Chain A
Amino acid sequence: MVPVTVVFTRESVPLDDQEKLPFTVVHEREIPLKYKMKIKCRFQKAYRRALDHEEEALSSGSMQEAEAMLDEPQEQAEGSLTMYVISEHSSLLPQDMMSYIGPKRTAVVRGIMHREAFNIIGRRIVQVAQAMSLTEDVLAAALADHLPEDKWSAEKRRPLKSSLGYEITFSLLNPDPKSHDVHWDIEGAVRRYVQPFLNALSAAGNFSVDSQILYYAVLGVNPRFDSASSSYYLDMHNLPHVINPVESRLGSSAASLYPVLNFLLYVPELAHSPLYIQDKDGAPVATNAFHSPRWGGIMVYNVDSKTYNASVLPVRVEVDMVRVMEVFLAQLRLLFGIAQPQVPPKCLLSGPKSEGLMTWELDRLLWARSVENLATATTTLTSLAQLLGKISNIVIKDDVASEVYRAVAAVQKSAEELASGHLASAFVASQEAVTSSELAFFDPSLLHLLYFPDDQKFAIYIPLFLPMAVPILLSLVKIFLETRKSWKKPQKTD
């Protein structure tokens, strides 16, 4: 459930409608997935009148000032949204725009003086709220692992699997240290650009950042020469073959349990400079970079040919970290699945914050992750139950059982919290559910007696008991026959 607070300023709706404030309206929407699975999404809209300072803020000249003034009072809870309805003729928005989505869980919608004001405004509000929270494509991408593939979902890029944390590694590949002496200020760049982004994302997991410089690391593919532009190029079809030879030298972490995201910066060797990446139309890609979902990204950095004029090898190359970090951060956003939202028509999207992440984008990520975690946890528990049904030999120890109970409790709690709109606690509960269910499913003690089926038990015990049992059985039979004879004899004589 998404709690939405709708604030009406004085001239946004007709007066008699304003008398009805405050009240609450609930709007439900069903998002269909495959196989009759649906997710119900509820928007609980609490309508209220604007407070004085909010009126003041919304009558200021520009959006930035308004936002600055609205910021101060309180920090909103995760998952909730606040919408301000301004008057139809207000100059806060440009004339043709009906709504505006701000960077911090706020939005502004134009009001209307009409009899059915509330209905119309209600519809606009729901449109904007949907753009800022769960939509179909976000859910489909999050549940991509659990829904079977079809043509429609194969085109969607898969975001990273939900995990408790991630390790991000930046590597500079220099295949030709004789010609290029490459220096990059990675520490400063990480501190200035990457760390704020990761701090904004810190609710989604633990992040750690590393960097290294690898020498004599070559791409596995030979680039081809294009005489028209006298440069080398890598075709789009060659790109998947680039990653594998490089991966063995990246040293992906032995010391950490979290998945690793690799971002490589490749400075091509002198013989293959300059090097461009071509897309399917044959045009060189503007950023000269590509990324692979769930793995990371690679950018090719061409050394400016002017630096070779001194012709003393090796030339010193200082990498322009701003350009590089722009590309890497954009790739990071794509890898996490924070894509551009589908904004409703005539809506103005504000520019991003300095961290590169808007707060409601984080909320969308958390919604998607919670749903994915719940799906994973339930799938794991169901498969464990099915396995137990088929193979009766699996031993369930007490601590495995307690993990299963914890997982089930966490799933229920997370579903309740999601339904009541507390996103942060729902996300934490869903992570706990996944951890507990995986601990229970992958416990090595489950396999103790797995390969000890019943017919083998017979095979082991029969050679011991059968020879002992045969004489006993025979003598029992003999005793039985004799007693029967002795009963019959008295009968006969009697």
Chain B
Amino acid sequence: MAAAIPLSLLVLLLLGPGGWCLAEHPRDSLREELVITPLPSGDVAATFQFRTRWDSELQREGVSHYRLFPKALGQLISKYSLRELHLSFTQGFWRTRYWGPPFLQAPSGAELWVWFQDTVTDVDKSWKELSNVLSGIFCASLNFIDSTNTVTPTASFKPLGLANDTDHYFLRYAVLPREVVCTENLTPWKKLLPCSSKAGLSVLLKADRLFHTSYHSQAVHIRPVCRNARCTSISWELRQTLSVVFDAFITGQGKKDWSLFRMFSRTLTEPCPLASESRVYVDITNYNQDNETLEVHPSPTTTYQDVILGTRKTYAIYDLLDSAMINNSRNLNIQLKWKRPPENGYIHYQPAQDRLQPHLLEMLIQLPANSVTKVSIQFERALLKWTEYTPDPNHGFYVRFPVSDGSNYFVRLYTEPLLVNLPTPDFSMPYNVICLTCTVVAVCYGSFYNLLTRTFHIEEPRTGGLAKRLANLIRRARGVPLL
């Protein structure tokens, strides 16, 4: 049990070498940013990035002192002599066709690739131990990484940080596509942040909203970078990124407006005092003073224009460390409202309820002339109860046909019906069961009946007969007396 120490125990004479030198702490800095991008399909993508940079040489083991850089990862780097570490957990798939190109790419499931230092003698052993330790830190099943799912790519993965030479012998790569990402993996990821979901941008990281998304990806990247322009010494950079895509129709109830509170159920209250930079970037490419297509509240003080991923975009910047930003309102809730319905128009969607009502989708669209417009809807196939099947189930099921109306003069168009093949069960099974049961019952009952009611009497053996002659043939061959 805990107890207090009486002072009388302290008889220590602490004689140290004279002089109080202020030790040179390796400096570290934290930069955090959030980029919110409305996507062409109406969804909203939010990308967090927390960058911790530590000016220190982690090569030697022994005493190490950590401040902003998390101790768990620092110990890993020094114990396993890592040069780079990239670990990502992703749920869902980034639909490039509908959402455009992503900022950060990641495969579905868990991906881990590591560059070791060239002082490592047994790379496979270190790789196995490292994946087990990471599995413990992040509460994920990375311990299933073994030689059956590890490869050493020779051309496709280059080091992302500083590298003297690239001997691919020291690179290992593994992917676990079946890994499911959930709150258990988010919590240790959040614990690595210095301000740890109490201040700054990490306040917005609430697990129940972040997993109600179409796409969720969190990653940890560690790499060495140059400390200054001449690159005389290295620093370690830890980047923690989180990308989510919110489905506007589920969160916004049909409208394309969004606000920080609606997406994350939290607003920004105070900046992280340890961060040297803490900013929110909102993509307002469609913002046009005259057109008034959309309105961002609070109005941005600074904007930034650049060519990002091939297109020219405009970003509104909200700096949390700017005292005017936070002092005006107790919390910062960035909202975006669409003033005029955009080109996609009015959409009314009523989802189906099983065996009660069908899907209903109504859209008011401006169709440009001489163009092809594709409307697509995703659906899932479910199994029906066996009495609900029609007598000809392998023909397929019809989905009722959509109707479209014209605008200038009233035209109503019908499209072809859609025939969908559903998985059918084996309809012959009831017949098989009936046959088998009837056979067993018949044999059983028949035998009992015979035994109970049959009477036996002696009969004289009759000579002749084909069977007797066949039997005698066989007996003669065997040398046994004949019947």
The 7 closest A-B pairs by CB, nearest first: A192-B16, A212-B66, A216-B198, A285-B4, A255-B75, A251-B72, A212-B71
A157 to B195, CA, bound (A): 37
- Distance (Å) between the CB of A242 and the closest chain B CB? 8
In the complex, which residues 42-84 of chain B have their Cβ closer than 8 Å to any Cβ of chain A? 61-68, 70-72, 75-76, 79-80
The smallest C-beta distance from A100 to any residue of chain B, in angstroms, reads 16
Q: Are B4 and A256 in contact (CB under 8 A)?
A: no
Binds B, one of A80-88, A351-359, A484-492: A351-359
Whole-angstrom distance between the Cβ of B46 and the nearest chain A Cβ:
23
The reply on B435 being an interface residue by CB < 8 A is no
Residue on A nearest B133 in the bound complex, by CB: A254
Nearest to A292 among chain B residues (CB) is: B2
Binding site secondary structure of chain A: mixed
Q: Among B1, B17, B133, B136, find the residue whose CB has the most chain A CB atoms closer than 10 A.
A: B1
- List 15 contacting pairs A-B, 8 Å CB cutoff, sorted by A: A157-B3, A178-B270, A178-B273, A188-B23, A193-B14, A211-B66, A240-B2, A254-B72, A254-B136, A255-B75, A285-B4, A291-B3, A325-B14, A331-B5, A356-B14
**How far is A186 from B1 in the complex, measured between Cα atoms in Å?**
28
Are A287 and B4 interface neighbours, CB within 8 A?
yes
B32 to chain A, nearest CB (A): 14
A218 to B7, CA, bound (A): 27
Please judge, given known A-B contacts A187-B23, A210-B71, whether A215 and B9 are in contact too, CB under 8 Å: no
**A175-196 CB contact bits vs B (8 Å, 1 = yes)?**
0011000000111101111000
Residue B274 interfacial (CB < 8 Å): yes
With A185-B23, A354-B15: A239-B2 Cβ-Cβ less than 8 Å? yes
Question: Known: A216-B198, A255-B76. Contact between A354 and B71, CB under 8 A?
Answer: no
Is A309 close to B, CB under 8 A?
Answer: no
Known pairs A255-B75, A326-B14; A187 contacts B63 (CB<8 A)? yes
In the complex, chain A residues whose CB is within 8 Å of the CB of B21: 188
Chain A residue with the shortest CB-CB distance to B66: A212
Check: B214 CB closer than 8 A to any chain A CB: no
A210 contact from B1, B16, B66, B80, Cβ within 8 A: B66
Asked if B13 is at the interface (CB within 8 A of a chain A CB), the reply is yes
For the complex formed, measure the closest distance between the CB of B236 and the CB atoms of chain A, giving whole angstroms.
Answer: 15
Known: A187-B23, A215-B274, A216-B199. A330 touches B64 (CB 8 A): no
Chain A hits for B372, CB < 8 A: none
CA of A253 to CA of B7, assembled, Å: 31
Chain B residues with CB under 8 Å of A334's CB are 5, 9
**Pick from A185, A188, A251, A255: contact of B70, CB under 8 Å:** A251
Q: Are A209 and B63 in contact (CB under 8 A)?
A: yes
Excluding A210-B65, A287-B5, 8 further A-B contacts by CB distance (< 8 Å) are A157-B3, A190-B63, A208-B62, A212-B65, A215-B195, A254-B133, A256-B75, A326-B14
Q: Which of A169, A216, A290, A325 contacts B2 (CB 8 A)?
A: A290
A286 at the B interface (CB under 8 A): yes
Contacting pair A354 B14 (CB below 8 A): yes
Residues in A neighbouring B198, C-beta threshold 8 A: 216
A289 close to B (CB within 8 Å): yes
Contact check, A213 vs B66: say whether CB atoms are below 8 A apart. Answer: yes
In the complex, A208→B15 CA distance in Å?
A: 22
The reply to whether the CB of A387 lies closer than 8 angstroms to some CB of chain B is no
A329 at the interface (CB under 8 A from B): yes
CB interface residues, A 9-27, toward B, < 8 Å: none
Q: Quick one: which of A169, A210, A314 has the most chain B CB within 10 A?
A: A210
With contacts A193-B14, A213-B67, A286-B7 known, is A177 near B2, CB below 8 A?
Answer: no
Chain B: how many interface residues by the 8 Å CB criterion?
48
Q: CB-CB < 8 A to B66: which residues of A?
A: 210-213
Of chain A, the residue at the smallest CB distance from B132 is A254
A178 CA to B61 CA, complexed, in Å? 33
- Residues of A contacting B1 with CB < 8 Å? 240, 292-293
| A289–B5 touching, CB < 8 Å | yes
Closest CB in chain B relative to A243 CB, distance in Å: 8
| A290 touching B4, Cβ below 8 Å | yes
Shortest C-beta distance, B186 to chain A (Å), equals 15
Q: Please, which residues of chain A bring their CB within 8 A of the CB of B70?
A: 251
| Contact A185-B12, Cβ < 8 Å, known A216-B198, A256-B75, A314-B273 | no
Q: A255, B79: Cβ atoms under 8 Å?
A: yes
Taken together as a complex, chains A and B put the C-alpha atoms of A330 and B274 apart, in Å, by 33
- Tell me whether A322 is interfacial, beta carbon within 8 Å: yes
User: Separation in Å of the A245 CB from the closest CB of chain B?
Assistant: 13
Across the interface, name the chain B residue whose C-beta is closest to A356. B12
- Contact yes or no, B9 A192, CB < 8 A: no
Please encode chain B, from 17 to 48, with 1 for each CB lying within 8 Å of some chain A CB and 0 for all others: 10011110100000000000000000000000
Q: A240, A248, A255, A331 — which one has the most chain B CB atoms within 10 A of its CB?
A: A255
B65 adjacent to A187 (CB under 8 Å) = yes
Q: Mark A339-371, 1 if CB is under 8 A from B, else 0.
A: 010000000000110101000000000000000
Complex-state Cα separation, A351 to B273, whole angstroms: 46
Which B residues from 195 to 232 make CB contacts under 8 A with A?
195-196, 198-199
Give the chain B neighbours of A55 by CB distance below 8 A: none
Name the B residues within 8 Å of A286 (CB-CB): 6-7
The answer to whether B11 has its CB under 8 Å from any CB of chain A is yes
**In the bound complex, CA of A291 to CA of B65 (Å):** 22
Interface flag for B191 (CB, 8 Å) = yes
- A249 is contacted by which of B16, B137, B196 (Cβ under 8 Å)? B196
Interface members, chain B 355-388 (any A CB < 8 Å)? none
Determine the chain B residues whose CB is within 8 A of the CB of A290 once the complex forms. Answer: 2-5
Given the known interface contacts A251-B72, A253-B75, A255-B75, the answer about A291 and B14 at a Cβ–Cβ threshold of 8 Å is no
**Chain B residue at minimum C-beta to C-beta distance from A178:** B273
Task: Using CB atoms, name the residue of chain A closest to B134.
Answer: A254
Which A residues are CB-close (under 8 A) to B11? 351-352
Q: Give the residues from 419 to 442 in chain B that come closer than 8 angstroms, CB to CB, to chain A.
A: none
The minimal Cβ–Cβ distance linking B15 to chain A, given in whole angstroms, is 5
> Does B452 make an interface contact (CB < 8 A)?
no
Tell me the smallest distance from the CB of B8 to a CB of chain A, in Å: 9
Asked if A277 is at the interface of the complex by the 8 Å CB criterion, the answer is: yes
State A322–B14 Cα separation when bound (angstroms). Answer: 8
**Binary contact readout B391-428 vs A (1 if CB under 8 angstroms, 0 otherwise):** 00000000000000000000000000000000000000
Interface string of B455-472 (1 = CB under 8 A from A): 000000000000000000
A483 to B451, CA, bound (A): 36
**Is A417 interfacial (CB-CB < 8 Å)?**
no
- Say if the beta carbon of A279 comes within 8 Å of chain B: yes
Binary interface encoding of chain A residues 195-220 relative to chain B, with 1 for a CB under 8 A from any of its CBs, else 0: 00000000000001111110110000
